[in-house]
C-alpha cells in the first residue's frame, strides 16, 4: 500500500481519540522515557494498536504515543523509537514521525543518548545538536518515490537556529552548562572502536549515537522545525580506558534524565 494511504490509515485510527492537534512531536531517547513524566497525559496509544506501526524492542524503550500537554503546549510524545539496528528499514523508522506530522505536528524535539567524542564533555552533560553527520550508510528517503521528495533535499539549516537560541537562553536561565556540537549517527548495534572514534573526532563530530539522523531527515523533508538534544551517557570508545556497556547507557540516562526533563519543559514553556 502507498505510503500516503498508510499514513492516512494510522491518522484515521488516532485522530478520533484526540481533542486537540499535537503541535509538537517529542522523541524520547534511550533511558529517557522518564521524560514522559513531563506530559500531562490525555490520551495513550500503543504502537502495536496503530496500523502499520512497528513496535520498538530496544532496551530502555517502551512503545507508545502519549498525547497531552507540556509547558502549556499540545504535544505528542514518542515513548520509544524505532532503530535501524533492530532490523527496521530506514523508511520504517520515520513512519511514526510522518504520522505525527500528518496529525499536525510542525516542530520536532528529538532526544537521544550518545557517547561523548568531544574531550571537553563529561558524562551526564547535555549537548544541543547544532548539526549532524549521517554515517549510518543509509537514508530514509529516496528521490522520486512515494515520500514526496522530488529534488535533492537541502540540509543547510536543518536544526532551527531560532529553537537553538531559545534552548541556549533557557539553559542560561536554569544555570545549566549546555554543551553544543555535531551528532554523528551510526548504524550500530556494536559500539564503535577507539579508532573509529578518533576518526569521527577529526571529522568534527562531538557525540555519537545510533538514532536521530533518519528522523531529522524525514522531519526536514516535512518542513518541520527541529530541535535536538543528546544526553552524554558515556564517553565514546577509547576516551577512557574501560569497556562500554548498554547498561551503563541506560543507567546514566536514568540518572541524568531530570536535567533533560527540566530543559525540555523550559524550552516548551518558552516557545
Ligand atoms: N556509541 C553509540 N551510541 C551510543 C553511545 C556510544 O558510545 N552511547 C549511547 N549511545
Burial label, 70 (beta-carbon count in 10 A; 0-12, 13-18, 19+): buried
Q: Cell for 261? A: 526533563
pLDDT digits 0-9 by tens, 89-145: 999 999 999 999 999 999 999 999 999 999 999 999 999 999 999 999 999 998 888
CA 186 to ligand 1: nearest atom = 2
List the chain domain ranges.
3-270
Query: 50 vs 55, 93, 126, 269, CA distance in Å?
Result: 10, 14, 32, 30
How many angstroms separate the alpha carbon of residue 208 from the centre of ligand 1? 6
pLDDT digits 0-9 by tens, 2-58: 999 999 999 999 999 999 999 999 998 877 777 788 899 999 999 999 999 988 666
pLDDT digits 0-9 by tens, 180-232: 999 999 999 999 999 999 999 999 999 999 999 999 999 999 999 999 999 99
pLDDT at site 60: 58
Q: Is the CB of 234 under 6 A from ligand 1?
A: yes
Q: Is the CB of 233 under 6 A from ligand 1?
A: yes
Query: Using the 8-state DSSP alphabet, how is residue 36 labeled?
Result: G
Whole-prediction pTM: 0.96
Q: Is the CB of 116 under 6 A from ligand 1?
A: no
Q: Cell for 29? A: 531517547
pLDDT at site 149: 86
Domain 3-270 -> CATH class: alpha beta
Nearest alpha carbon, ligand 1 atom 3: 209
Query: Using the 8-state DSSP alphabet, how is residue 238 labeled?
Result: T
DSSP 60-104: T---EEEEEEETTEEEEEEES---GGGT--HHHHTHHHHHHHHTT
Amino acid at each position: 500500500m502507498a505510503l500516503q494511504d498508510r499514513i492516512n490509515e494510522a491518522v484515521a485510527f488516532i485522530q478520533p481519540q484526540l481533542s486537540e492537534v499535537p503541535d509538537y512531536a517529542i522523541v524520547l531517547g534511550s533511558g529517557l522515557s522518564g521524560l514522559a513524566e513531563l506530559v500531562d497525559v490525555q490520551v495513550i496509544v500503543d504502537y502495536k494498536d496503530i496500523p502499520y506501526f512497528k513496535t520498538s524492542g530496544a532496551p530502555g524503550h517502551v512503545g507508545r504515543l502519549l498525547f497531552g500537554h507540556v509547558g502549556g503546549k499540545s504535544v505528542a510524545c514518542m515513548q520509544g523509537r524505532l532503530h535501524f539496528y533492530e532490523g527496521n528499514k530506514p523508511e520504517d523508522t520515520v513512519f511514526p514521525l510522518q504520522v505525527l506530522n500528518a496529525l499536525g505536528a510542525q516542530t520536532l524535539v528529538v532526544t537521544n543518548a550518545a557517547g561523548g567524542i568531544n574531550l571537553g564533555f563529561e558524562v551526564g552533560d547535555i549537548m544541543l545538536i547544532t548539526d549532524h553527520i549521517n554515517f549510518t550508510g543509509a537514508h530514509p528517503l529516496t528521490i522520486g518515490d512515494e515520500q514526496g521528495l522530488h529534488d535533492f533535499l537541502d540540509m543547510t539549516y536543518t536544526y532551527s537556529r531560532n529553537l537553538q537560541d531559545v534552548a541556549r537562553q533557557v539553559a542560561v536561565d536554569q544555570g545549566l552548562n549546555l554543551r553544543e556540537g555535531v551528532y554523528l549517527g551510526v548504524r550500530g548495534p556494536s559500539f564503535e572502536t577507539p579508532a573509529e572514534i578518533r576518526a569521527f573526532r577529526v571529522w568534527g563530530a562531538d557525540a555519537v549515537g545510533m538514532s536521530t539522523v533518519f528522523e531529522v531527515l524525514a522531519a526536514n523533508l516535512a518542513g518541520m522545525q527541529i530541535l535536538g538534544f543528546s544526553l552524554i551517557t558515556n564517553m565514546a570508545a577509547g576516551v577512557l580506558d574501560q569497556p562500554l556497556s548498554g547498561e551503563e547507557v541506560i543507567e546514566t540516562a536514568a540518572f541524568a534524565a531530570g536535567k533533560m526533563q527540566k530543559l525540555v519543559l523550559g524550552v516548551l514553556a518558552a516557545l
